[in-house]
Structure 1
């Protein structure tokens, strides 16, 4: 592929955005709050659950 198709950089002139579209900036991420875990298992540590030393997914 020597000449890839160029990407559109502007919307067509007749495009009207829906009313629910906004230009508000994205909210800042909030820090993770660790909660109490009675079993001592933390599924957010690696994104998996760990049981008997083995990480398992659902």
Structure 2
């Protein structure tokens, strides 16, 4: 079994566009009214070409 590298090679230099800043915090979801009724993301059912599918 080959061991996995745990450090970057000594010759590695990070690209200029990389930042040390932490990623931004995600925004809170906005509560929206569903104009068609029940939201498929809430109940897990989707309609594809007239057929309700669940995945």
Same fold (TM over 0.5): yes
Higher strand fraction (1 or 2): 2
- Whether the aligned pair in 2 keeps the contact of 1:49 and 1:56 (CA below 8 Å) is yes
Unaligned runs of 5+ in 1: none
State TM-score, norm by structure 1: 0.56
**Is the helix fraction higher in 1 or 2?**
2
Tell me how large the CA RMSD over aligned residues is. Answer: 2.7
Higher relative CO (Cα under 8 Å, sequence separation at least 6) belongs to 2
Q: TM-score, normalised by structure 2?
A: 0.58
